[in-house]
Chain A
Amino acid sequence: MKKEIIFKLNDEMVSVTVDSDELLLDVLRDKFGLKSPKRSCGRGECGACSVLLNGKSVRSCIIFAVEVAGQEIITFEGLQKEGMTDLQKSFLEHNSFQCGFCTSGVTITATEFLQKNPKPTVKEIKEALAGNLCRCTGYSSIVDAIYDYTKKKGE
């Protein structure tokens, strides 16, 4: 069954016709050309497809597109409209990526977490990111970048 949905996407109202079983991830990638949410596990286990739904990070691979009608979605692309953010700069300085495939999902999760907890401990950062899998970095450079960013911001 096809359905037209309207929702806010990266600060713009958009409308799109979707199948009722179409995933948000596929709609964002294939119908809006937003390639930052990545296809990986398909079961909400790895976090590579994370986007913000009304400010909360969610796994777009296990959400039907029709569920976001009337809601607000922000993708990684929407976070950097003003250019490279300070958090992204910190990722760059700390080499918080290797292959880069998990980076957008990690950034989405970190963004939501830092809004709730702007001065986290290292342990809190690790707990917040435990649902974002990265096979390359061993995570420590990601945790360092986030912690360093909050320290600099606090100065």
Chain B
Amino acid sequence: MKDYKYVGKKSIRIDGKAKVMGAAKYTDDLEFGPNLLHIAVLSSPHAHAKILGIETSEAEKVPGVKAVISGKDFPQKFGLYLRDHAIFPNDKVRYVGEQVAAVIAKTKKIAQAAVKKIQVEYEVLPNIQNALDSIKPNATLIHPNLGNYEVVPWLYPQPGTNIGHVRKIRKGEIDKAFEEADFILEDQYHVPHVVHAPMENHIAVALFDYEDRLTMWNSTQSPHTQRNILASCLNIPHKDVRVIAPYVGGGFGGKAGISMEVIAAVAAMKVPGCPVKLAWSRKEEFENSSQRQELFAKVKMGVKNDGTIIALKHELFWDVGASAEYGSNVVNATGFSAIGPYNIPNVYIDSFAIYTNRPPCGAYRGFGYSEFHFGLESHIDRIAKKLNMDPIEFRKKNAIKEGDKVAYGVEMGPTGLRECIEKVAEKIEMGKEVISDDPDKIIAKGFACAWKAPAMPPNESSAAFIKFNEDGSINILVSGMELGQGYLTSMAKIAAEVLSIPLEKIRVEHPDTDRNPYEWQTVASHTTWSSGNAVKKAAIEAKGRIIETVSRALNYKKDTLYLEDEMVKCTVDSNFSLALKDFVINGIQMKDGTFRGGPILGTGIFMPEFTSAMVDPETGQGGHPNVHYTTGAGAVEIEIDKRTGRVRVLKMAEAFDAGKVLNPDLAKGQIIGGFMQGLGTALWEEVKFDENGKILNPNFTDYKIPTTLEVPDEMYPIFVEVAQPDGPFGVRGIGEHTMIPVMPAVGNAIANALGIRLTEVPFTPERILAALEKKGK
């Protein structure tokens, strides 16, 4: 394998000093001067109610109030894939916490006081709190105008129902395969709503100035996508919408696309010349940003006695909440991929986006894959047990290989899945019994595989600019977001490797849609691959210009010139070297005093030109909806206290095929961070609603996320490197994947420990004790 100087080597993060010294500025840390106004939002107390009237005159009279806005000012709808979300609803509210009106005032305190004076007359409607109720005939329609909404051509809303989209896969002959199966297992699994809980809540600042241009400073994963949605929704030319994205205090998918930022944007339009700030409280973050879809999954799998999986029927009923503007694509992506990382010839998948009167759901680290893997990987263990097969061997036997056909009929690319399975099984010592010294405690192990493809429109793209400075340092302009994953460092390393420039001489700029070139969004674990390809191309272009300049000025043949340690060198003249800093701006001086060259720039773009979302809607066949899959496996060793039902993870291991690891420490950080986030969803996290759709636990006392105390004593992040042919240096993404195996691995460990199968997460002590009691009877 080629030895790289920067790629794959340990390094200090290029945003490290800014973060450990507190120099990193997040949106709320920016100063906007004495004209800054503040927004408070009136949210709906009802899950479903007609709006009969909104009376704002009392609120307008409060001293310090500049304006009050509602749906009569801004009746537009917005959305990423399906425009079903009102900026402010005029007809009815669809979830508790939905914005109904907003006050813009000199201080937040005044705005909050004035909001209480807005009178809204509602007629309460029956509300739907469960996706399975929502698809019953005669259920109240949450979006009666579903048929009139704008939608991308590859999603299929079902007007007259509460179904925002359905993705179907039909491959092989499913009925025949079930007839031929030696053993069939059928069951249902449930994964509730959870929240992203980034430490920084959503925040947006907007300025609509006197030349009618809209500038926003947002905590976002998607500056260009936000610009596009704002421009088209508010009818402002794209050139006049500018989104600046400072450091982000955690995203996890929750800051992908657009949500509350639209409120700040329209508020700014009401008070031209004054910046306006909208900062969600933690409660608002729970109620009105986005959540992870709830999933009711039906899994039916047929196998032969030799352990070959021959049939899978997987029905996914997703509660996407009151808006499917983004969540519809989670439903779509999982529909294409709900076979998991296995070679299954006969497949039937239905994946439904179902509206309920719950908060809108959208992207969440894993993009639906965590949820469906829970059922699928639980099922795999159960079937292996029935067949008297080692679950690891069962997985290896059926694991998808390069060239096998995935559910939509396209060939699987290179994959190190088997190696991942073997390495994790070895590290966690699957099959080796461990006995606790404490007779009340049982130690057991559980395993799960995982895969995920980036879920993207077929024409997503990335672009990059590289510009040299007088001292030979470079600035890289890109529009991916540093969410903590190490994006800036990864992009710097790619350029460093091509241009032979040390990381200390590279700055990667945060997005500003005016100055930085296009990036679709920082989602889907696709940015290192996609934006990385653009940066690599930009670096190659800059390198070409360097070599062209030197060749032209000094008469060396181009193919004899190369870059090393910030210098241009020559293969046939070992005495020649020219430092980049000597000419990358000012050029090379000739004998007659004239100069050759000029500022060195590089541009790069990347679009996966082989993808297509246009498939047969009845079978899912005929297109190429995904670019590639990243595969891997995870396992845990847990200890359960039989008296309390409490589960503690003692040891974990995860392995993923990253293609090529750019930053070893940062990649490990993705495994450990993703594992802990997954552990939260396995053991504690669940948004609790009352029967009227009100969240009962919108805070960190009642909604518990992992703390230091739950960190396993032993953690083993492992990487396998089977190169991604079209990835920069062979890279493919791993950021979301690390969460995916956790729920089923813990569930399988509990089953191995106690002989009880929990088909619902989180695995709370109450659930475990109840299952034990039931088993005892």
Chain A residues near B (Cβ < 8 Å) = 29, 33, 35-36, 38-43, 45-46, 48, 76-77, 80, 84, 88-89, 91-93, 95-104, 107, 125-127, 129-143
Contact = CB atoms under 8 A, between A and B. Distances in A.
Contact of A88 (B21, B700, B715): B21
Contacts of A80: 21-22
Contacts of B17: 84, 92
Contact of A103 (B20, B196, B198): B20
A107 B20 CA distance: 9
Contacts of A103: 19-20, 22
Nearest to A126: B708
Interface stretch (B80-88, B382-390, B397-405, B671-679): B671-679
Most chain B CB atoms below 10 A, which of A89, A101, A129: A101
5 contacts: A99-B199, A99-B483, A101-B198, A133-B700, A137-B672
A101 B200 contact: yes
Nearest to A94: B665
B707 A98 contact: no
Contact of B709 (A38, A39, A88, A130): A130
Interface string B702-729: 0001111101000100000000000000
B672 A95 contact: no
A53 B758 CA distance: 47
Interface string B443-468: 00000000000000000000000000
B26 interface: yes
B249 A100 contact: yes
B12 A92 contact: yes
Most chain A CB atoms below 10 A, which of B20, B29, B677: B20
A29 B676 CA distance: 31
B282 interface: yes
Contact of B248 (A99, A125, A143): A99
Contacts of A125: 708
A36 to B, nearest CB: 5
Interface in B130-178: none
B249 A97 contact: no
Contacts of A48: 199
A98 B201 contact: no
Contact of B672 (A42, A84, A93, A140): A140
Nearest to A35: B29
Given A35-B22, A99-B200, A138-B669, 8 more contacts: A39-B279, A40-B249, A101-B249, A126-B711, A134-B199, A135-B705, A140-B711, A140-B715
A101 B673 CA distance: 15
B282 A43 contact: yes
Given A41-B699, A45-B700, A35 B25 contact: yes
Most chain B CB atoms below 10 A, which of A43, A139, A142: A139
Given A42-B282, A139-B707, A139-B711, A84 B701 contact: no
Interface of B: 12-13, 15-22, 24-26, 28-29, 31, 196-201, 247-252, 279, 281-282, 483-486, 665-666, 669, 672-677, 699-701, 705-709, 711, 715
A48 to B, nearest CB: 6
A98 B13 CA distance: 10
A83 B773 CA distance: 59
A140 B676 CA distance: 10
Contacts of B715: 138, 140
Nearest to A75: B22
A126 B665 CA distance: 21
B675 A38 contact: no
Contacts of A89: 20
Contact of A138 (B199, B700, B711): B711
A106 B483 CA distance: 18
Given A38-B199, A136-B484, A97 B705 contact: no
A99 B19 CA distance: 8
B252 to A, nearest CB: 7
Contact of A43 (B12, B20, B25, B700): B700
Contacts of A40: 199-201, 249, 282
B296 to A, nearest CB: 27
A101 B700 contact: no
